[in-house]
Amino acid sequence: MSNSLYIVIVGCGRLGSHLANQLSHVGHSVVVIDRDEATFNDLSPDFSGFRVEGDATQMTVLKEAKLKRADVFFATTHEDNVNLMVAQIARKIFDVPHVVARVFDPRRQQVFDRLGIETICPTSVAAEMFLLAVASGRAAKEDTKP
Per CB under 8 A, 36 contacts a copy of itself: no
- Which segment (37-45, 46-54, 60-68, 117-125) binds a copy of itself by CB under 8 A? 117-125
Q: How far is the CB of 9 from a copy of itself (least distance, A)?
A: 9
Give the neighbor-by-neighbor strand order of the sheet with 72-75: 50-53, 29-34, 6-10, 72-75, 98-102, 118-120
Per CB under 8 A, 91 contacts a copy of itself: no
User: Closer to a copy of itself at the Cβ: 36 or 118?
Assistant: 118
Contact 32, 51 (CB under 8 A): yes
Per CB under 8 A, 98 contacts a copy of itself: yes
